[in-house]
């Protein structure tokens, strides 16, 4: 009796995943605005109307993708934690992980950018909650690395609230990547190569948190 119900739930979950797969694939291929629900339905081999059973509307589907994107990002951050020795190196590794992530999954970064730019709707029951949770976890990883750095002396002790620093670094790094990804053409017009810019800006960032040599 409840075997069945259980399997039903599983299959529903699996299908939900298939829809997301299809949507992500199309997103990566042509960008979100150019993706139609009909294409998603075809790609997932089901009728368009059924999509609306699984996702209230197109935006809800985007939130579903966002939850995935942020979960992957969090995993990248966690993996970066292991790469650095000192806390400061960990923070730097997280920053580089964000850049690598954006290069590897431009469409995921695009979702992040959308969330960064637009205020999320205050509907707590939906996929948006999953986004917020994954986002909080990601920022939590940064905070942990900062705390480590302050404790081991690799980060200036006067940085104040680690959460404030974490959010600031996030904003900065996000700004770098966004500009580097979207404005390659314009940067070149200003005689700037994209890797040069990224390295330069990132160098500025890391120098910011360094503990002074002679305390």
CA nearest 68: which of 36, 22, 100? 22
Largest Cα span, the chain: 71
What are residue 155's DSSP bridge partners? Answer: 210
111: left (phi over 0), alpha (psi -120 to 50) or beta: alpha
Q: Quick one: what does residue 213 bind among DNA, a second copy, none, with the CB cut-off 5 to 8 Å set by partner type?
A: none
4 binding DNA? (CB under 7 A): yes
* Per-residue binding letters, 34-73, with DNA (x by CB under 7 A): -xxxx-------xxxxx-xx--xxxx--------------
Q: Which lies closer to DNA via its Cβ, residue 107 or residue 147? A: 107
Cβ-contact 126, 67 below 8 angstroms? no
Binding site for a second copy (CB under 8 A): 113, 116-120, 122, 132, 135-136, 139, 160-161, 163-165, 167-168, 170-176, 178-179, 182-187, 189-192, 196-197, 200-201, 204, 207-208
Q: Taking CB under 7 A as the criterion, which residues in 7-36 touch DNA? A: 8, 12, 15, 35-36
Start-to-end CA span in the chain (Å): 69
The 3-state DSSP class for residue 72 equals helix
The 3-state DSSP class for residue 155 equals strand
Q: Quick one: what does residue 103 bind among a second copy, DNA, none, with the CB cut-off 5 to 8 Å set by partner type?
A: none
Residue count of the chain: 215
Q: Which lies closer to a second copy via its Cβ, residue 179 or residue 211? A: 179
Residues making contact with DNA (CB under 7 A): 1, 4, 8, 12, 15, 35-38, 46-50, 52-53, 56-59
């Amino acid at each position: 009796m409840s075997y069945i119900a259980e399997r039903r739930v599983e299959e529903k979950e699996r299908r939900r995943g298939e829809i997301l797969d299809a949507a992500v694939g199309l997103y990566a291929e042509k960008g979100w605005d150019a993706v139609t629900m009909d294409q998603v339905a075809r790609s997932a081999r089901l009728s368009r109307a059924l999509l609306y059973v699984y996702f209230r509307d197109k935006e809800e589907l985007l939130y579903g993708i966002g939850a995935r994107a942020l979960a992957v990002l969090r995993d990248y951050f966690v993996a970066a934690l292991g790469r650095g020795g000192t806390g400061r190196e960990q923070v730097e590794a997280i920053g580089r992980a964000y850049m690598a992530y954006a290069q590897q999954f431009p469409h995921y970064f695009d979702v992040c950018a959308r969330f960064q730019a637009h205020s999320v709707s205050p509907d707590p029951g939906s996929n948006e909650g999953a986004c917020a949770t994954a986002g909080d976890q990601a920022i939590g990883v940064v905070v942990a690395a900062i705390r480590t750095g302050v404790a081991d002396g690799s980060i200036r002790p006067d940085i104040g609230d680690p959460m404030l620093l974490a959010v600031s670094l996030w904003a900065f790094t996000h700004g770098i990547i966004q500009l580097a990804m979207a404005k390659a053409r314009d940067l070149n017009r200003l005689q700037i190569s994209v890797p040069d810019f990224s390295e330069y800006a990132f160098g500025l960032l890391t120098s910011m948190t360094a503990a002074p040599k002679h305390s």
